[in-house]
Structure 1
């Protein structure tokens, strides 16, 4: 097989949509029936949720439906996960709301459009693998922070408050404005919201298979209509929703506008990639399947471009709806495609009825979503686990709530990376002496002990762990502390997990000092990659000799010391 053919085969394996894989495996009527039922189930969940997320994001409710219909269909059609459900997500509420406040809806559409191309680039450059390296405390911190912000954003509609100057975006000013608006409290709105929450929570306990969100919205709407409750509805605020998808159109692509929304687009890209791959991992854990991360990111990119063209907001994989899809018995991506078609049918048929839905009921839905998003048990466990993890968690959480979501993720990731490097550097060991001059058994590391070294002219050291820039200074200091004037040094690195250029430079510096002292250096256990790296730093015979076995290196070192 030629190299070009191998490259094409590898590309195909990475970017073939799961829909193609499912169809190749054989897709019959039973599978279609299962996907039909699961698609309808998820659509019933997504219908009120998509509108609620859109309203909380500062845009009309129909834009949430456009997102779920167009974006959700493309995610399932092209995605690298069998069960992923795409659509508007609660995690984006903060970013979308802030973007609308600064750049308006047209700016939001442009940012979503650009983020689609960025996600395409991330996928095709095969960078999706790196997104999984976001530390767990960062994930829990920003998810919990988003939950707090979502709940705060729903307090206005939960209590039926009237804000004279509009609702501020930042957390503290928002709470102050809500407190000042407390005299406008609407008991009817609170009762509708509380009733919706009670129905959702109650049904989850006694009838978990029932669509609690939709039932709560229907009951709240009927109650508001029958009793003529003085509560704000979709109709009173937005005038209802249209019955058709709009014609696709490009957003404003002027250079000035692109530059203005670029930070928002990058934030959408980062959060969208993390959220969608986390959702795919959840689906994998529930089904035992494996998703194609880079293919999934490409699909997310196409879905965001498509959503923006039809007036929708950011698309990503949605964990709760994806899990519901799996639990409903989905067999493959057809379920997600059908979920979008069902939503389109609902919009065509029932759009006029949506204007009667109380906003307090949708606020109740998002309050439940926020409660579920707040990873309370994981948050408490990380606070108890270690001081480093607790610091990363709290700083991420506080920055997300009080500063900015992207800033929280980036700072948290940076702190998590530093914490990891610190822990890895502490795991490196430098041991002096030899336990024996025979090879160690494969199933254990025999301890080295300085007091049983057999030859003062030959010093044996073993380095174990990850020998990288974070540990290079400590290892270099340990090597420099060698006493006496030995004629040869044997350094066993067979237990080194990885070695980088800084570590290679440290060994080169030690070898140079040894040459100045007229001593030889023997390196044991270097694999071909490490040998190649060391040679690029000038470490080759006669300045440094490579051996595969410790006994051979010690024997050669003794012969050299006796000869000199």
Structure 2
């Protein structure tokens, strides 16, 4: 007799690519992917540079992230159309890491986060992370938007503030103190670039607004230099080339290096003091907290993006495969000097609107960014810092979801509003990690409170229907010796003690208590302990307990906990009439 072998299950990886292929991928789909990738690539170039600068590193590291991580995540993830790369959500996490541990520390923390994401995917934790409450997500994203916007004020106004710190309040103080150093040339370029990027979409032209903003900002800055002689004593408006310099492969220059990403050892890159890091247990231990924060935010952001893309394309993503893909991208990108990456909702939505059909669109997007680095590095170096600040103002505004924020304040229940404001305030004043931890904890407490209100223990005779039932069931017996109670709702640590404590206050004449537990779907360990305590108290009072309608899986759970039936003391019955019959028999025997 031959045994049938079950088909080998493929690991949860590259399911987005496999899904696109199995759905019938044809040449027309390839053309759509190429066109969508070209558009997203032009959008990703300015955003990648701006977000890298906002995180405190040179702009090329953001470009390397879009090139390496963008392609790897697309090919190995669980979504067909997600576009990954640097995102604004990570700025509030990455900026403090760069301040404390430098570029090398950031890349090591990113690799550690990648390993955590892979572990989450392999252990099928993708579904659980989606249950982060909406007020928590909205609160910390709005807080992140405020922090990003404030960090761009010095470049937008041309202020001389020096090195900003990782503390929001301290940065606000530095900015206010530096207001007298406002540079009108920087401000004019920033306002002009911002106006162009806001008004350009109204023309409904196929060229992305961020790309247009970069071009006109660079042209305007060059015109100012020509008009006021800025080139003789340095540029009047600070640009990428005037702020950043690079050294690679024996060459050096300013702006962005015109070379493709090359293999590097993150632990050999400089730390906060400019010296190479020492890779040891102490450094790993110090970076574990930031790595967990990066992994958690990356998982939340990527899965939220996947849900949004599913709604737009009517497809389904694989959350575990998406986590593995994100993990692989963040594990490999730092080896090419790329920073943290995750799925970007705005770029993904644009990718879908451009007609993307498969992950190949995101791969084309990475190729476009690579081409821009190699061929247009000199031109990218002429982009003014004020223009990038204006671009990030728009990103921060879109990220804040101000309309949803205000709507939630007006319409949401009071508990949700409190969680929203607390998460927002903690993100701005402290950090996102604390905000999410406190927010999830408060949301859990609010959920327990609401469940406590749903789970009730009441005597069946409290209603006219219950009194009629009691008289019918207890006819011919001493009705005062039997107490009928109904428990409605789950019994867990938040409500078990309250629900079962009320049963201790029984009439002295009662000899048998019957609990109708047909509406109890679940019990946790705390509820079982409380039930054992109730049984012991009733035994001490010489009161028997009968559990009616208890689901079979809960009976198994009680037996495993050592709670077993005992004649004249404890029993469970399938139905309430059967429980009353057992109670009558016990009373008759005594």
Contact 1:508 1:537 in 2 (8 A): no
| 2:349 corresponding residue in structure 1 | 323
Check 1:522–1:14 CA distance in 2 against 1; reply closer, same or farther (3 A cut). Answer: farther
1:144 aligns with 2:142: yes
Cα 1:334–1:459 shift into 2, 3 Å: same
Partner of 1:132: 130
The equivalent of 1:43 in structure 2 is: 41
**1:182 corresponds to:** 179
Shift in Å at residue 451 of structure 1? Answer: 7.7
Q: Is the 8 A contact 1:168 1:177 kept in 2?
A: no
**Residues 325-334 or 309-318, more deviating:** 325-334
Structure 1 residues 148-157 or 325-334, which shifts more?
Answer: 325-334
Compute the RMSD of aligned alpha carbons: 2.2
Aligned counterparts, 1:186-225, within 5 A: 186-207=183-204, 210-225=207-222
Checking the alignment, whether the CA contact within 8 Å between 1:116 and 1:304 is kept in structure 2 is: yes
Q: Show structure 2 runs of 5+ residues with no match.
A: 231-235, 245-253, 268-278, 472-478
Deviations 1:363-384 (A, max 9, x none): 1010000011112233223334
Distance 1:117 1:448, change over 3 A: farther
* Worse-superposed segment, 461-470 or 475-484: 475-484
2:114 aligned residue:
116
CA distance in 1, matches of 2:24, 2:184: 56
Q: How does 1:332-347 map to 2 (within 5 A)?
A: 332-347=358-373
Partner of 2:433: 406
Moved more, 305-314 or 495-504: 495-504
In structure 1, distance between residues paired with 2:5 and 2:539: 48
Number of equivalent positions:
550
* Cα deviation digits, residues 229-271 of structure 1 (max 9, x gap): 7211111111221222232123224333323322222221121
1:497 equivalent to 2:521? Answer yes
Between 276-285 and 452-461, the greater mean CA deviation after superposition: 452-461
Give the drift of 1:452: 6.0
CA contact (8 A) 2:14 2:325 kept: no
For residue 62 of structure 2, the aligned residue among 52, 61, 64 is 64
Question: Which region of structure 1 is more displaced relative to structure 2, 544-553 or 151-160?
Answer: 544-553
TM-score by length of structure 2 reads 0.89
Q: Would the aligned equivalents of 2:14 and 2:75 in 1 still touch at CA under 8 Å? A: no
**Alpha carbons 1:433, 1:451 under 8 Å: kept:** no
Question: Relative to 1, partners in 2 of residues 1:56 and 1:562: Cα closer, same or farther, differing over 3 Å?
Answer: same
Partner of 1:387: 414
Work out whether residues 12 and 122 of structure 2, in 8 Å CA contact, stay in contact via their aligned partners in 1. no
Specify which of 503, 513, 520 is matched with residue 537 of structure 2: 513
TM-score, with length taken from structure 1: 0.93
The answer (yes or no) to whether the contact 1:83–1:336 under 8 Å persists in 2 is yes
Deviates more, 1:129-138 or 1:12-21: 12-21
Of residues 552, 557, 579, the one that matches 1:528 is 552
Alpha-carbon contact 2:159-2:181 (below 8 Å) kept: yes
- Name 2:32's counterpart in structure 1: 34
What displacement does 1:428 show? Answer: 0.7
- The 1:174/1:2 distance shift into structure 2, 3 A limit, reads farther
For 2:487, the equivalent position in structure 1 comes to 463
The CA distance in 1 between the partners of 2:500 and 2:169, in whole Å, is 50
* Post-superposition offset of 1:129: 2.2
- Tell me, in whole angstroms, the C-alpha distance in 2 between the residues paired with 1:495 and 1:237: 67
User: Quick check: 126-135 or 170-179, which moved more?
Assistant: 126-135
